[in-house]
């Protein structure tokens, strides 16, 4: 302290000479002092500390950018992967869990990389530098110090192996919790309508408790590493001291070097202890990485077969030939489905819930692959066409509407990005949506919010119908497309559909049989098979399944 004070004093007060300070030290301390040497040492140390700070700042900046670039790349790959997996992937995985993998797990990877990589490189360099200095002081003492090193690494590895399952369980439970929150939030009306607040809270508490237990176990095991390693290293410290005393007694080691060596010995174990403290971060990184790579390694949708061609200038005839299909190999829904949909005709598909009506149109779109048989368009297997061109020629209006956060104009033009304002308005008029759009605050520029709660269910459906009309598909699929609109609007839309279906092959799925009486062919399905075919009059004459179904609605 006196030495530093004297140097600072010499810098700040030039009138006090080096000689005066030296005499002052000699008077009060009785020891000679070399201010020039001390000043050079302090300046060198200050320069080194300054460079160390600069390099730390640079390394933090570099690693922050590098870790975020890695996460950015992974997030981009996951997003692309989501577009390439088949629909049955979403059937077997929770939406909330998938969201958790894309958000929570990728964030964990970014923060963990940012914390660990710099520390790992710093620790490696520290260990190498310290070992070099220790070997220059005394070879045998260095060997003794290194004996505890593999034991520490082995112990850390065993503890990490035991705790990794708890970190994996923690990440899994976090995904389940996210799924439960997403499910409860999106279905809040149903929860309140059936007074299930307490039940959903109980489910949440159960998952939350599982998450807390797995997190406690994971953090306990990861926190156990540091004291165990410190305990082992202390044994090595004691062993080095005992052997060093023997070397000092026989004159082969200077006591001053022992003090220096012990300092280096502590520095050797410090990086290992620091790595032990990062165990929880490393294991979180590993658990989150496994969950993200599970998504990246998922089986992708079957790509276009070789020698595929573009589907264009089609007439629209669709043939099902001995089609066999099941959503899983153990549960086959369709055994042998055959029918022919002539170009430009309207084919209605009716039947009880779960009969396979929607499955028919999903197979035409190649959302799922067949277990057997063929589906043809214009007498050519749909596998011979590229999926992009196949789906471009087919327009779908589903019972479950989907709109994105954006303007009404952009939602309608989703399937035709180069559509003009006049074309959008014309499609809206045909879909009976133009009037209600004009009543909105900003008309066609009105923004639909993320939850699509600022328009009604019926209005959503009208917009999806307008979207399908604008796309001008050659094959039209209407899956309960008017289920959420009033009777009068439905009549107007049916007239619009009648005009729209001209020169198009149309598949209409309906529960209200009054809407499909003018269909050219009606397919009656039950338990995955087509049990009756014909037009409305023919099926009534048969007095079969369709006859009973029709009378159940109108008798």
Position 187 scores a pLDDT of 74
pLDDT of 122 reads 78
- Lookup: tokens for 333: 């829904």
Q: For all residues of the chain together, what is the average pLDDT?
A: 80
Residue pair 451/407 in contact by the 8 Å Cβ criterion: no
- Report the pLDDT averaged over residues 227-239: 79
User: What pLDDT is recorded for position 514?
Assistant: 75
pLDDT above 80 (res 328) = no
Of the ranges 136-145, 195-204, 439-448, which is most confident? Answer: 439-448
Q: How crowded is residue 321: how many other Cβ atoms within 10 Å of its Cβ?
A: 15
Q: Please tell me the predicted confidence (pLDDT) of residue 23.
A: 60
| 502-532 CB burial, b ≥16 within 10 A, e <16 | eebbbbbbbbebebbeebbbbbbbbebbbeb
pLDDT digits (tens, 9 = 90+) for 387-423: 888 888 888 887 777 888 889 999 899 878 788 999 9
Q: Is 293 exposed, middle or buried (0-12, 13-18, 19+ CB in 10 A)?
A: middle
Residue 382 per-residue DSSP state: G
Which of the residue ranges 46-55, 170-179, 182-191, 423-432 would you say has the lowest mean pLDDT? 182-191
**What is the rounded average pLDDT of the residues 35-55?**
80
Q: In which band, very low, low, confident or very high, does the pLDDT at 32 lie, cut at 50, 70 and 90?
A: low
152 has a pLDDT exceeding 80: no
> What's the CA dihedral at 169, 174, 175, 179 to 10 degrees?
140
Q: How far apart are CA 267 and CA 327, in angstroms?
A: 61
- If pLDDT is split at 50, 70 and 90, which confidence band does 15 have? very low
Q: What is the pLDDT of residue 3?
A: 47
Which one of 176-185, 250-259, 262-271, 456-465 scores highest in mean pLDDT?
456-465
Model pTM score: 0.64
Q: Which residues contact 150 (CB under 8 A, 6 or more apart)?
A: none
User: Between these two residues, 491 and 139, which has the higher pLDDT value?
Assistant: 139
Given a cut of 70, whether residue 30 has pLDDT beyond it is: no
For residue 251, CA distances in Å to 248, 259, 546 come to: 5, 15, 108
* pLDDT tens profile 493-536: 777 677 667 778 888 888 778 778 888 899 998 888 889 888 88
Query: Could you read off the pLDDT of 195-226 as tens digits, one per residue?
Result: 778 888 888 888 888 888 888 888 787 777 77
Sheet holding 394-397, edge to edge: 394-397, 475-479, 505-509, 346-350, 521-526, 529-534
Helix (H) or strand (E) holding 529: strand 529-534
Average pLDDT over residues 110-116: 79
Q: Retrieve residue 236's tokens.
A: 């090595």
Q: 398 is written with which tokens? A: 């589903």
pLDDT for res 554:
66
Mean pLDDT over 453-462 rounds to 81
- What is the pLDDT, as a whole number, of residue 484? 64
Tens digits of residue pLDDT in 373-391: 899 998 898 888 888 888 8
Q: Is 439 exposed, middle or buried (0-12, 13-18, 19+ CB in 10 A)?
A: exposed
């Amino acid at each position: 302290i006196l030495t530093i004070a004297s140097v600072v004093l010499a810098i700040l007060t030039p009138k006090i000479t080096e000689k005066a300070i030296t005499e002052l030290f000699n008077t009060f301390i009785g020891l000679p002092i070399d201010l020039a040497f001390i000043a050079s040492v302090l300046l060198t140390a200050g320069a080194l500390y300054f460079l160390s700070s600069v390099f730390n700042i640079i390394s933090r900046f570099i690693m922050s950018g590098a870790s975020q670039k890695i996460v950015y790349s992974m997030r981009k790959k996951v997003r692309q992967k989501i577009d390439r997996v088949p629909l049955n992937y979403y059937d077997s995985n929770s939406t909330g869990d998938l969201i958790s993998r894309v958000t929570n797990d990728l964030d964990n990877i970014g923060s963990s990389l940012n914390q660990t990589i710099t520390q790992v490189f710093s620790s490696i360099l520290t260990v190498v530098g310290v070992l070099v200095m220790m070997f220059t002081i005394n070879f045998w003492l260095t060997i003794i110090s290194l004996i505890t090193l593999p034991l520490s690494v082995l112990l850390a590895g065993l503890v990490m192996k035991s705790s990794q399952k708890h970190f994996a369980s923690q990440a899994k439970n976090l995904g389940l919790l996210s799924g439960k929150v997403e499910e409860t939030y999106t279905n809040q009306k149903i929860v309140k309508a059936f007074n299930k607040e307490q039940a959903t809270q109980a489910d949440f508490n159960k998952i939350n408790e599982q998450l807390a237990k797995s997190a406690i176990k994971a953090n306990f095991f990861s926190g156990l590493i540091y004291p165990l390693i410190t305990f082992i290293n202390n044994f090595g410290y004691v062993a080095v001291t005992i052997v060093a005393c023997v070397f000092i007694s026989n004159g082969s080691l200077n006591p001053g070097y022992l003090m220096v060596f012990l300092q280096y010995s502590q520095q050797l174990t410090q990086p290992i202890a620091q790595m032990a403290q990062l165990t929880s971060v490393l294991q979180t990184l590993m658990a989150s990485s496994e969950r993200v790579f599970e998504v990246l390694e998922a089986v992708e949708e079957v790509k276009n077969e070789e020698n595929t061609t573009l589907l264009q200038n089609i007439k629209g005839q669709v043939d099902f030939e001995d089609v066999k299909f099941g959503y899983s190999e153990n549960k086959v829904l369709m055994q042998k489905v055959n029918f022919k949909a002539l170009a430009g005709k309207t084919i209605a598909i009716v039947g009880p819930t779960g009969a396979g009506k929607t499955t028919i149109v999903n197979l035409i779109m190649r959302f799922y692959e067949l277990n057997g048989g063929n589906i043809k368009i214009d007498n050519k297997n749909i596998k011979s066409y590229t999926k992009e061109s196949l789906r471009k020629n087919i327009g779908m209006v589903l019972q479950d509407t989907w709109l994105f956060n954006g303007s009404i104009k952009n939602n309608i033009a989703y399937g035709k990005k180069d559509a003009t304002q006049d074309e959008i308005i014309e499609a809206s008029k045909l879909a009976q949506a133009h009037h209600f759009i004009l009543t909105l605050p900003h008309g066609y520029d009105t923004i639909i919010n993320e939850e699509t709660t600022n328009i009604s269910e019926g209005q959503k459906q009208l917009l999806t119908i307008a979207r399908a009309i604008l796309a001008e598909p050659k094959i039209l699929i209407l899956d309960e497309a008017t289920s959420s609109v009033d009777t009068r609007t439905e009549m107007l839309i049916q007239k619009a559909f009648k005009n729209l279906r001209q020169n198009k092959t149309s598949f209409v799925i309906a529960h209200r049989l009054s809407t499909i009486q003018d269909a050219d062919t009606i397919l009656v399905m039950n338990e995955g098979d087509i049990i009756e075919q014909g037009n409305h009059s023919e099926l009534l004459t048969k007095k079969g399944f369709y006859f009973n179904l029709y009378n159940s609605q109108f008798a």
